[in-house]
Amino acid sequence: MRADIPVAGSRAIGPGNPPPVLNGQRLARPFNRTRELADSSWPPYHAMLERVEVLERAPVFFALPESTIRNLARRVRQIMIAAGGAIVYQGETGDTIFFIESGSCRVIIERPPSAVTVAVLGPGDFFGEAACILGRDQQASVIAQTDCRLVALDKQSMTSVVGRDTEFLDELRRLAHQRYRTFADTAVQAAWGMLLDEATVVGLYSPKGGSGGTCMALNLVGCLSRIHPGQVVLLDLDFPYSHAALLAGLVPTSCLARMTATPPEAFEESLLSTILYHSGGPMILPGALRPEESDEVTPDLIARAVTVLRKTFRYVVVDMGIAIDDSTLAVLDLTQHVIVVAAPELSAVKSAADAIDILRKLGTPDDRLTVVLNNRSAKPAVMKTAVERTLKRTVDVEVAFDGAKPDEAALTGTILSLTDPRSEITRGARTLADILEGKHGNSRRRLQQINGGAPAAVESDC
Amino acid sequence: MRRHLHAVAAGKSDTLKIDVHDGELNSSALLVELIAPLDQESLAFRQIASAIERSGTVDAVIDGLGSRDPIVRARSARITGAMRMEQAVPWLTPLLWSKAPAVRDSAARALARIGGVRSAGALLMAIQRIGPRPSLIVALARAAPDLYLEAVLGGSQLRAAQPAVAMAAGLRGRRTAAAALILQLRSGSRRARKASSRALGWLGASGGIPELTLALEHRDWWVRMSAAKALGAIPAYRPGPELRACLADRNPRVRRSAQDAVRRLSRR
């Protein structure tokens, strides 16, 4: 059957003019036009290609077989929404997933008396999945920030095509749950307001691959999150293969590299909306999702990102790559503390010694430099005393061999410091967290005392 | 039959043969009764669906939609709706303008239950063909996915169906439709203005108050009456001189609507 729906549209709310739900008042401006571009079981060839491309860009959907994506593409609708137009309203039911083909949308959660922008979504993102898949009411209102071209996939069409693919549906549900929690947490955090002073930036540098740098970073963030829930973020700049989110069992949908073209006024919101929230407390900001995207992360972009993160969190832990390039130097400029992770192997220890020399030359004071010796095997090739002799300084934290636990945790997507208190990695991460708290937590408390001991001022985001 | 249905739902039996031609036993009614409270993603629903598919009942039901017997057609339509058989939408569409009222209603209900773009498109086609029947409007409100009705309301085609679509948008109760309804109220036909006014009232859309207030002074009494009724249903509206002027309108139906509106608003 050919569903004989014409080229159709509706009026949308004007730019800069909040919809009725947001202010409870009349609409002051005339409405702009919204158009549905096509709606047919058999769309034209070029429209079909566009739809397939949009679906393929979306997380989770890109894993579907090509024939399934084509079937979905035949059933979706393309919709134009003018800037300022409301697409979904918080609290209403929903049966459609909207994919953004072009333009950007603002996700707003109302928490009377204010409304909090929890995310700005761009091309390749989708929304409405929690209402459609989980059957919950819309968690947030979504307003078109610019003229938007959307692709709408309703529940019935999706069920007809992928109803039997339980693996895909489970993955989609998992993503929906994850984003639901992230938005809820971001809204709460924004409502609480900014912290009084800026975060401590901790750079974690591992000069030799395979020394367990990312594992230590993740577990350190886990430990710090237990002390400061919702106030610790891991910025994953371990290029070209950034896998911190994967190791934590999270599905990244965007990354820092994709913020290069974001206008300055929307940068902060976009950046915060990209952060992934782990149910145990830590948050992760992926640097790049694909190896080729790592070139997009410039020192300027890192500086902008860290500036935003410092205002929002208490600790920003940066997992740096192996190479000492412009990006690494930019991070080192911004850090208050550097952790060097080395494995007890000859090449790793030699590299660590060189790295520590460079850090000293860059002006990193010894008391802000912590060396971690991570034993990746039961019988280390180089003993601790030999390591200390080579490094010309003491090892601050030694992590004993933890058996297969780190590998198993990576497979199951768990963070050991949150799930296994007896793990050696957890013990090492806890010692590191104590060192950081001792050095930077005390200075924070002193700063608060100097400021009169007043609690953090709570500002509304909007 | 009822015991067998429960056994299938519990996973104790994996085949379910339903004879829509059976003159003595209305098995479709039993199936619909069992299925109605189930969620589409529940295990019981999926087990019944797979049992029906396995035993070839799906083909029999779709064949039944083309039967000469209106009772068989109506029964088959009810089963397709209960089982959310989207593949049956093309066969359900012509039943919407069947001469037998039971068949028409069953088809409309089935499409409402199936939902999605294809069902909504079929209902819209029927509205264009046989006019805005209440059962079709209600079914359209239930079947239409998000932003579907809004898109149709804003389009330049399907002018004749737009009053019905406006009513469906009001019944659906989504605030995203308010903008499109205000546009209809501003520049639509007489019927479209009337329908949009009522729909804005059902939505309780405070954004429509300025346009509805203007509509109180429209030269067409039907539009004035609808606007008065709609304003009476919007909690945020405070009666102004325009509504009070309607209390002395030359048309008695407008006067009565304005009185009702003032009474309703003063109770809040």
Say what the ipTM of the complex is.
0.86
How many separate domains does chain B show? 1
Chain A residues in contact with B65 by the CB 8 A cut-off are none
Calculate how close chain A gets to B25, using CA atoms only, in Å: 31
Measuring CA to CA, which residue among B171, B120, B168, B146 is closest to residue A88?
B146
User: How is chain A split among helix, strand and coil, in percent rounded to 5?
Assistant: 45, 20, 35
State the DSSP string of B15-37: -----TT-SS--HHHHHHHHHTT
Side-chain half-sphere exposure of A249, counting CA atoms within 13 A: 16
The share of chain B scoring above pLDDT 90, in percent, equals: 52
- For residues A397-414, give the mean pLDDT: 85
Q: b/e map of A366-403 (b: 16 or more CB within 10 Å)?
A: eebbbbbbbbbeeebebeeeebeebbeeebebbbeebe
Task: Provide long-range contacts, Cβ within 8 A and 24+ apart, for B129-132.
Answer: B129/B96, B129/B97, B130/B96, B130/B97, B132/B161, B132/B163, B132/B164, B132/B167
Tell me if residue A131 falls in helix, strand or coil. Answer: helix
Residue-wise pLDDT tens digits, B167-178:
999 999 888 899
Q: Which of B117, B119, B200 to mutate to test the interface with A (most CBs of A within 10 A)?
A: B117
How many beta carbons lie within 10 A of that of residue B37, not counting itself? 9
CB-nearest to A20 from B153, B157, B178 is: B178
Q: What is the pTM of this model?
A: 0.60
Calculate how close chain B gets to A46, using CA atoms only, in Å: 21
Contact B125 A26 (CB under 8 A): no
Measuring CA to CA, which residue among A32, A38, A44, A13 is closest to residue A108?
A13
CA-CA distances (angstroms) from residue A253 to A258, A413, B49, B84, B106?
Answer: 10, 17, 35, 32, 44
Residue B44 lies in a domain: no
| Residue B106: per-residue pLDDT | 93
| Residue A134: per-residue pLDDT | 86
The share of chain A scoring above pLDDT 90, in percent, equals: 8
Tell me if residue A286 falls in helix, strand or coil. Answer: strand
| Residue A451: per-residue pLDDT | 41
**Is residue B196 predicted with pLDDT exceeding 50?**
yes
CA distance B95 to B67: 11
Q: How many helices (H) and strands (E) does chain A have?
A: 17, 18
Residue B190 lies in a domain: yes
Which architecture, in CATH terms, is A8-189? Sandwich (2.60)
Measuring CA to CA, which residue among A202, A145, A156 is closest to residue A316?
A202
CA distance A275 to A252: 8
Chain B residues in contact with A157 by the CB 8 A cut-off are 116-118
- For residues B249-256, give the mean pLDDT: 93
Read off the pLDDT band of B110 (50, 70, 90): very high
Read off the pLDDT band of A262 (50, 70, 90): confident
Residue of A nearest to B208 (CA): A26
A325: left (phi over 0), alpha (psi -120 to 50) or beta: beta
User: Would you say B199 and B170 are in contact if contact means Cβ atoms under 8 Å apart?
Assistant: yes
How many beta carbons lie within 10 A of that of residue A49, not counting itself? 12
| Residue B246: per-residue pLDDT | 92
Residue B249 lies in a domain: yes
Read off the pLDDT band of B53 (50, 70, 90): confident
Calculate how close chain B gets to A462, using CA atoms only, in Å: 22
CA distance A210 to A170: 32
Contact B90 A1 (CB under 8 A): yes
Chain B residues in contact with A7 by the CB 8 A cut-off are 155-157
Chain B residues in contact with A88 by the CB 8 A cut-off are 146, 176
Sheet (strand A77-81) strand order: A8-12, A32-38, A77-81, A148-154, A96-102, A126-127
**Is residue A23 predicted with pLDDT exceeding 60?**
no
For residues A21 and A419, the model is more confident at A419
Chain A residues in contact with B84 by the CB 8 A cut-off are 156, 159
Lowest-pLDDT range of A107-121, A187-201, A299-313, B46-60? A187-201
Residue B72 lies in a domain: no
Question: Between chain A and chain B, how many beta carbons pairs sit less than 8 Å apart?
Answer: 154
CB-nearest to B118 from A3, A12, A20 is: A3
Residue-wise pLDDT tens digits, A180-215:
887 777 666 555 544 445 788 899 988 888 788 888
Side-chain half-sphere exposure of B23, counting CA atoms within 13 A: 1
Which stretches within A28-81 are classed as H helix? 45-57, 66-75
CA distance A140 to B150: 20
The share of chain A scoring above pLDDT 70, in percent, equals: 82
B46 touches chain A (CB under 8 A): no
- For residues B260-265, give the mean pLDDT: 91
φ, ψ dihedrals at A120, nearest 5°: -120, 115
Calculate how close chain B gets to A17, using CA atoms only, in Å: 12
CA R_g for chain A: 24
Residue-range definition of the domain harbouring residue B185: 174-268
Residue B95 lies in a domain: no
CA distance A86 to A82: 9
CA distance B147 to B167: 15
CATH number of the domain within which B256 lies: 1.25.10.10
CA distance B120 to A100: 23
CA distance B45 to B160: 39
Residue-wise pLDDT tens digits, A39-57:
445 677 888 888 898 888 8
Contact B118 A1 (CB under 8 A): yes
**Is residue B140 predicted with pLDDT exceeding 90?**
yes
Chain B residues in contact with A11 by the CB 8 A cut-off are 154, 179-180, 182-183
CATH class of the region A195-448: alpha beta
CB-nearest to A11 from B117, B122, B154 is: B154
Calculate how close chain B gets to A380, using CA atoms only, in Å: 54
